[in-house]
Amino acid sequence: MVPAASPHGPGCLSVRPGCVRPGPGCLSAWSRLPPRLARGDSPGSAAISSVLVSSTQLPLAGLRVVEVGSFIAVPAAGLALRQLGARVIRVDPVGGAPDISRWPLGRDGRSLYWVGLNRGKESVELDLGSLAGQATLRRLVTAGGAAGGILLSNIAGKPWLSDELLRQDRPDLIYVQVLGQADGGSAVDYTINAASGLAYATGPEDGPGPLNQALPAWDLLAAAHTALAVLAALRHREATGQGSCLQVALEDVAMSTLTTLGFLPDAQLRLRSRPPHGNYLYGTFGADMPLADGDRIMVVALTARQWESLLELTGTGRAVAALETALEADFRQEGDRYRHRHVLAALMRPWFEARSLGEVTAALGGTRVLWAPFRRFTDVAGDLSRGGSAVVSPLAEEGVGETLATTGPVRPAGASGLPVPPVPAPRLGQHTEAVLAELLGSAGG
């Protein structure tokens, strides 16, 4: 969720997808993450260091980010930076931000959502409704040194956290503000998606109306662009000594992405909206196939060689060739395969319906066809619990029990397992005294 914003100071820029490109690089060395700081530990830099990745082998080691935001975009951006070695200090109001109990919940009611988005971060709890708490937050943000002076926030319209005020104490501040609507109005992923037009292109072909997707894609894309904006601004600061005030709006992310992928230019040029296609793949051949044992799989043939392999597998080559002649089509072309997808899928469906998932798996194993079974979350979670992923492993989490956790999708090329073990999420306010003592020389404020 992103609240309404007030006008920002001069020099604020708008960051939209595609504006910043990361430099080349490969993560080849990692360090083990030390255990987290227990709430009862005495404050100070020695205690704080136990929750940090201090190795210079991590790309963002030595960077310090203050995060003030809730729900997905800002915490996910902070998490991405944290997983690459940055020190991320999340600041919440007393009692937590509105996302502290967001579903899904663990066994004792602790939010799995909050836990997942905040693993490895330090948690500071301040009375942000008081002048003293607001002043303490500003001091944390503007704390000296080349490592600091980086703020991520979706708290908008707060004069006490304005760019102008912060920059008085830290001229080289990097401030990335996440907004909902481009004009600063309130919005969440699901309202942005509804307004984007994508919901009318989602769902079954004969569906009754628009369908919002389950994945908060605009939040996640906004998080990626926010993290990228931090790195771009950091490079600018290192080169010039100047700070930056940048904005990433969910609405801009949606509009830019749908323009880049051709959804909106297609509607502009053809004066029509893309209809929903169910599990058919737009612009090429992709369809779901029911199997004899009740399972379903998705098959995709993007290239001519994949298409030929699919015909050979299903024994439909002659029938498809006859259809091609009758329709005056060229099924070597993706467009023709897409236009006639219903009849092509109908020709192939009997081959799949006569076989179980095991039989289809064995048959598809030696082909060029792209395919995967449709699975439920419980199926995937079961596989991951048995070690089915290179980036996910079990973690004992307080208040949750042993659960699946990740250190992120970036890992050294060729690595067969997690580069570093995941660490638990903090309890709300767990590091308040230690962080304030280390960075501000006080345990209160």
Q: What is the distance, to the nearest Å, from the Cα of residue 113 to the centroid of all Cα atoms in its chain? A: 13
Peptide bond into 104 cis (omega under 30): yes
Residue 182 structure tokens: 């481009």
Residue 13 phi/psi, 5-degree rounding, is -115, 160
Residue 424: burial class (beta carbons within 10 Å; 0-12, 13-18, 19+): buried
- Say if CB 205 and CB 278 are below 8 A apart: yes
Task: Yes or no: say if 408 and 227 are a contact pair by the CB < 8 Å rule.
Answer: no
- Residues 216/273, Cβ–Cβ less than 8 Å: no
Strands 296-301 and 285-290: antiparallel
Query: For residues 128 and 92, what is the distance between their CA atoms, to the nearest angstrom?
Result: 8
Cα(214)–Cα(209) distance, integer angstroms = 16
Report the SS3 class of residue 380.
helix
Tokens, residue 269: 């040029």
Angle at 145 between CA 24 and CA 410, to 5 degrees: 30
CA triple 228-232-233, angle to 5 deg? 115
Cα separation, 156 vs 2, whole angstroms: 8
Q: To which residue do tokens 């998705």 refer?
A: 298
Q: Which residues pair with 9 in a beta bridge?
A: none
Assess whether 219 carries a catalytic annotation: yes
What strand order describes the sheet that includes 174-179? 12-14, 244-249, 174-179, 150-153, 64-68, 87-93, 122-126
Catalytic pick from 92, 219, 252, 336? 219
Say how far apart CA 294 and CA 104 lie, in whole Å. Answer: 29
In the three-class reduction of DSSP (H, G, I as helix; E, B as strand; rest coil), residue 46 is classed as helix
**Tokens, residue 415:** 């690595």
Query: Residue 164 CB: number of other CB atoms within 10 A?
Result: 12
Burial 336-358 (b: 16+ CB within 10 A, else e): bbbebbeebbeebbebbeebebe
Catalytic residues: 219
